[in-house]
Structure 1
């Protein structure tokens, strides 16, 4: 609340507040997560802390950053290839590590924090410069219950940053900037390619606002080479990765075919949700990991519907598709996928900031949950994978 008051008098004060709020939560998040780490480990130091937070998919990204993608088969190694993990973020970490000679996980952790900090700055105009919502959003990313996802070697920090860049560019009708961000997003995670639909929806909305009819939109679009280029460029990152896999592995779609090795086989999303909700705990009262995953998917889809009600159709479609596409295979990593969708977490921050009371309550919940959820992550709690 004090920062909100400081931000009002002049532009300089507002700039300071906008930069200072996420920095404050960078520090508090590090302190809380390190306290959780220290409670379960006797080894001190940032390197040990960073290594302890490197769980599950993090190890795959470390391997890609250090050794690249293997060619199948690889003697004396796993027959599960790294191809399902997209290359942009490991490449970025490898480039930074070539300049700063520190362990990969240390470089990646610092880079992830920097990406999450930058994502907060980009979110400021997307949150309509609402200081309470901005503070909550920064707290969620950097000091919240899932902040370890955004501060270790996972793709979520870069994915959130690039997603925010796309929607900020669309908000300003900067279609070339949106296309470039979309291309990078499609090289970060497979579902990133779906953001091109948000770009087309934004173009359609602007065309309709100028009095154009829906039937004449395709013809109008074909007469705008600049917009067509923006659409074509958007999936360039995915196409580049397909070409790379074809030339090195011999299978341009190895990132899809390898999913069977991770137990991901296409099925009925509704059946997966029902099975998850039905996996009741045999002891205790805490929901099981499948129940948490199913609830996360339902909450994510509900928030996507709220975005649609608010006429944010592009963001709603993008988020719904990013949930449904992995849900076609199973519930694995569903919690991480949902909390990594920037439009949903921004919407949540806006809703919780409606009053000072709910804002303070949510902020307290975020900070207190950070400790326990970090300890659960380090302990290998499956719902957080």
Structure 2
């Protein structure tokens, strides 16, 4: 009797593993696809030259300082960290209660390196750094497409990313492109089961942005969904998976140690968010209240627009779930709902900063006729030009 039960359990377990293998490529197959991928480097460079050239022309025509515009808002905080480190006490903003503790250290550390310790123009070097990181991130993104979406148009992905609404963040002195690079590197190596590399990438992700901490949680969710309770059995066989869970948040813990040494508050990166009006609440209440502005105060654009973008994000996240892309869905969910719980501000930036939302949009465009897909990309690029003009005018609702 016991032998029969054990055999049945092994059968179910083996079936779960087999379904796991059919839904995602085996590590060796993933590695083979990654190595065989033909990255459209020419399209990547051309897309960046064309789009950035148009943005520069808009700045010149409007008598705007392109480099200054690309280094404004959060760029000023990153430059401040690069030159003087983290604040000992709060300063900045109109009430003087803000601090640069909200900004994680890896990007300003890279900025310090490329400016040779602050000797070179940080605006120029920051823009060059962000675009260089984007080139690498797009190359990795195409490799990830080859692993998870064989046959998908890499050119469409490249031009969509380079020109879509809010893509100007990728040229700003912001950490978005660094986060994209690390996210794709971790996703690729997770699919190829190069767990030592995944440990490094996840550590660096949690040194880049707070949302980087959620990568290992999303990985655990994927294992639970695919293997169900047998995921716990696998953890005994795969201690390297447990080590990823340990190493992933280590970047955050190191940052917390620095903040504790500097300010006496290890959670200063979270507590300082109140300076920007962020307080923990119900994400769904925030979403509904924001959407209600379309009816009650349509002239108040900011909350209504941010809430609408959050609704788009929920749709894209659901589409990832429909496709059974559990890891990507988990990353989208954490990226969207955790910030949404503290308010509507910067929701589009959180979404553009997590590549899985762009992958979901690319998946949708891949389902429509090719000509229509490219037309939609072009329309998005035109809309982005309006956003770029507002960015040059320092429109605060774009922060």
Tell me the equivalent position of 1:351.
364
Question: Structure 2 residue aligned with 1:137, among 140, 157, 160?
Answer: 157
Q: Contact 1:113 / 1:151 at 8 angstroms: preserved in 2?
A: yes
Q: Distance in 2 between matches of 1:358 and 1:171?
A: 31
Tell me the equivalent position of 2:351.
338
Q: Using a 3 Å threshold, how does the CA distance of structure 1 residues 191 and 278 change in structure 2: closer, same or farther?
A: same
Give 1:371 shift.
Answer: 2.2
Q: Contact 2:166 / 2:384 at 8 angstroms: preserved in 1?
A: yes
Q: Distance in 1 between matches of 2:74 and 2:300?
A: 23
Q: Does 1:166 align with 2:186?
A: yes
Q: Does 1:72 align with 2:89?
A: yes
The number of equivalent residue pairs is 362
Q: Distance in 2 between matches of 1:173 and 1:203?
A: 13
Give 1:349 shift.
Answer: 1.4
Q: Using a 3 Å threshold, how does the CA distance of structure 1 residues 352 and 215 change in structure 2: closer, same or farther?
A: closer
Q: Distance in 2 between matches of 1:98 and 1:69?
A: 19
Structure 1: gaps (5+ residues): 1-12, 43-47, 209-213
Tell me the equivalent position of 1:19.
41
Q: TM-score, normalised by structure 2?
A: 0.83
Q: TM-score, normalised by structure 1?
A: 0.86
Q: Does 1:109 align with 2:122?
A: no
Q: Using a 3 Å threshold, how does the CA distance of structure 1 residues 289 and 130 change in structure 2: closer, same or farther?
A: farther
Tell me the equivalent position of 1:56.
73
Structure 2: gaps (5+ residues): 1-35
Q: Does 1:218 align with 2:219?
A: no
Q: Secondary structure at the match of 1:279?
A: helix
Give 1:122 shift.
Answer: 0.5
Give 1:131 shift.
Answer: 7.3
Question: Structure 2 residue aligned with 1:28, among 50, 56, 60?
Answer: 50
Tell me the equivalent position of 1:153.
173
Give 1:74 shift.
Answer: 6.5
Q: Contact 1:87 / 1:187 at 8 angstroms: preserved in 2?
A: yes
Q: Contact 1:109 / 1:151 at 8 angstroms: preserved in 2?
A: yes
Q: Using a 3 Å threshold, how does the CA distance of structure 1 residues 55 and 282 change in structure 2: closer, same or farther?
A: farther
Deviations along 1:342-365, whole A, 9 cap, x unmatched?
Answer: 011012112213321122202322
Question: Structure 2 residue aligned with 1:39, among 61, 78, 89?
Answer: 61
Deviations along 1:19-73, whole A, 9 cap, x unmatched?
Answer: 111101110111111122123226xxxxx31112223222111111222111116
Tell me the equivalent position of 2:374.
360
Q: Secondary structure at the match of 2:153?
A: helix
Tell me the equivalent position of 2:388.
374
